[in-house]
Amino acid sequence: MFESDFTPLMASELEVQGEEKSCSYLPQQISRMSYRVARQLPAERYESLLERGWRRFGRMLFRPICRECRSCVPLRVVIPEFHLSKSQRRCLRRIAGLGTVQLSIVRPHVTAEHIALYNAYHSDMQERKGWAYQPIAMADYKAAFVEGNFSFARQFEYRLDSTLVGVGLVDMTPRLMSSIYFYFAPQLREQGFGTWSILQELQEGQTSGRKFLYLGYYISECGSMNYKNRFRPYETLERFVEDHELPEWHPAD
């Protein structure tokens, strides 16, 4: 999978560069990723990596190092200043019309209920958007979303009439939040459940006094990734920098 051996960075991190391949978001582009495997990841260290454009799945941190494409732009919402748009207010009303959706914030874990919902979501995305579909196994889910047991890792679980209808993987450090992944019951798509989940994360961030919610990479040319600039105000990262360099984040126009 990788072209070179692991290179030690810190005592708890290893870095490697992946191979070039067709981009999952922009098929006409060639992508390449840089990966870091974290055996340990203190919250303060993780905050510095988020600020430099890194993302996390399990123990794996990653960011793009594509030769010719710079379409992946890290984006973060300024939580204290966030304000609802008209469409977001309508989304809140639609979900409220379904009944009471209960939110529990827990440590990441996985059960058969999670696997069933995850696979139902991805099966629906295959039909809607042509995503490659392969049912996930318990071990693969643990590797992607549970491994590491980092102190800041959280799982937002949404239940409607006691039925699990949505799961959000969210990192919550003392200052920052990072929205990692969200999957939900396909029948709630038309109600804007994906948008609603981000609004819940922003509300939790405002309640707990956090500064930014990182939404990953904004890609203006990709329909699956260009929704992120609808949450305002937000900032974008000027360019990816090394650990010793200061990142430059700019407010959106």
pLDDT tens-digit series, residues 207-235? 999 999 999 999 999 877 889 999 999 99
> Is 248's pLDDT higher than 70?
yes
Are 65 and 126 part of one and the same domain?
no
Are 134 and 49 part of one and the same domain?
no
Are 222 and 134 part of one and the same domain?
yes
Are 247 and 181 part of one and the same domain?
yes
Neighbour-count burial of 97, counting CB atoms closer than 10 A to its CB (0-12 exposed, 13-18 middle, 19+ buried):
exposed
Q: Is residue 1 part of a domain?
A: no
21 DSSP β-pair partners: 31
Give φ, ψ of 58 to 5 degrees.
Answer: 60, -130
For 20-89, the three-class secondary structure string (H helix, E strand, C coil) is CEECCCCCCCEECEEEEEECCCCHHHHHHHHCCCCEEECCEEEEECCCCCCCCEEEEEEHHHCCCCHHHH
Are 28 and 148 part of one and the same domain?
no
pLDDT tens-digit series, residues 41-97? 999 999 999 999 999 999 999 999 999 999 999 999 999 999 999 999 999 999 999
Are 17 and 111 part of one and the same domain?
no
Q: Is residue 236 part of a domain?
A: yes
Q: Is residue 43 part of a domain?
A: yes
Are 21 and 58 part of one and the same domain?
yes
Are 67 and 172 part of one and the same domain?
no
pLDDT band at 3 (very low <50, low <70, confident <90, very high): very low
Strands 234-237 and 249-251: antiparallel
| More confident of the two residues 26 and 2 | 26
Contact 56, 172 (CB under 8 A): no
Are 86 and 207 part of one and the same domain?
yes
Are 98 and 212 part of one and the same domain?
yes
Number of domains in the chain: 2
Give φ, ψ of 21 to 5 degrees.
Answer: -155, 170
Are 137 and 170 part of one and the same domain?
yes
Domain that holds residue 154: 74-251
Other beta carbons within 10 angstroms of residue 1's beta carbon come to 6
pTM: 0.92
| More confident of the two residues 90 and 127 | 90
Amino acid at 94: R
Are 232 and 168 part of one and the same domain?
yes
Please report which residue ranges of 103-157 form alpha helices under DSSP H.
Answer: 112-129, 138-141
